[in-house]
Structure 1
Amino acid sequence: MAAHVAIAILYQENKFLMQLRDNIPNILYPGYWGLFGGHIEAGETPEIAVRREILEEINYELPQKFDEFGCYGDDRVIRHVFHAPLLVELDQLVLSEGWDMGLLTPEDISQGSCYSTVAGEVRPIGTVHQRILLDFMQNMNT
């Protein structure tokens, strides 16, 4: 049975906040850039889960109003995707899960990778996360 997760597209000045996932082999997309978020716990709605996960992972409280973008599923994971503006500077966030974080440009997302100062190298963007962001950028331009 597929796991349900809630993830957030957080954007600021045409850039998108992403997490460089820990480089440990037993997680999905180890060492890849991905969107912040996580598992929906029993009794939670996706909206409650995404608020909780973002607060836990980067100490950021989502704006009162944020919107659902869509749902992306495969055999292993059903991703409930939300979007909201990032209303604080990057240095005001506290990364408590993951290897690094950064504001990626549309060019980074299109090419599928981005340099991480913490990793000291270019790291790939998770395929499904790249597809979600490409869909989101296309949707913004229509």
Structure 2
Amino acid sequence: MNNKPIVEVAIAILYRHGKFLLQLRDNIPGILYPGHWAFFGGHLEPGETPEAALKRELLEEIGYVPEVASLFDPYPDTYVFRHVFHAPLTVELNHLVLGEGWDMDLLTPEEIQRGERYSEKAGQVRPLGPPHQKILLDFMDKFPQLAA
């Protein structure tokens, strides 16, 4: 029997001009999905709401908080409960300050479907985290106009 508690995280699908902002996670052994493209966001602190956690994490990670973030869908699995929000990215990429991770970029729907993207900083093609790819594919199915 597994007594490990489920971790709650709040993550953001941020979109701009038919592309989606993702972070290339640090390539550090021991973290989930090292060296994979994933969403910005992170763990909820004790007593923190998912909305407050999302705002705090986005400010820490990219120096940006959307005016409004809407709840998309919850994505629970064995160890992580993901509160997934979505919002338009209303600033240019060069206005963001990467405070965590190896790289960040706007990925096209084709790259998301393929499950990989080249990173100039890494100098190589890096995979999307499997749950992140699934969430984005579900999102593009539900909101195809945002992936156009």
What TM-score, normalized by structure 1, do the two folds share? Answer: 0.97
3-state SS of paired residue (1:136) = helix
Aligned length: 141
**Corresponding residue of 1:107:** 110
Question: Which moves more between the two structures, 108-117 or 69-78?
Answer: 69-78
Identity %: 62
1:17-59 CA distances to partner (integer Å, 9 max, x unpaired)? 0000000011000000000000000111000100110000000
| Structure 1 position 62, deviation (Å) | 1.6
Give the aligned residue type for 1:93.
L
2:96 corresponds, among 68, 93, 96, to 93
Q: Distance in 2 between matches of 1:88 and 1:46?
A: 23
Q: Distance in 2 between matches of 1:40 and 1:96?
A: 18
Q: Distance in 1 between matches of 2:65 and 2:51?
A: 13
Q: Residues 50-129 of structure 1 correspond to what in structure 2 (within 5 A)?
A: 50-63=54-67, 65-129=68-132
**Corresponding residue of 1:138:** 141
Q: Distance in 1 between matches of 2:89 and 2:144?
A: 19
Matched, 1:6 2:15: no
Q: Distance in 2 between matches of 1:21 and 1:76?
A: 19
Give the aligned residue type for 1:86.
L
3-state SS of paired residue (1:27) = coil
Give structure 2 stretches of 5+ with no counterpart. none
RMSD (Å) for aligned C-alpha atoms? 0.9
**Runs of 4+ in structure 1 displaced over 3 angstroms?**
none
Give the aligned residue type for 2:29.
P
Q: Distance in 2 between matches of 1:88 and 1:101?
A: 14
Q: Distance in 2 between matches of 1:49 and 1:78?
A: 13
Q: Distance in 2 between matches of 1:132 and 1:24?
A: 23
What TM-score, normalized by structure 2, do the two folds share? Answer: 0.93
3-state SS of paired residue (1:53) = helix
Give structure 1 stretches of 5+ with no counterpart. none
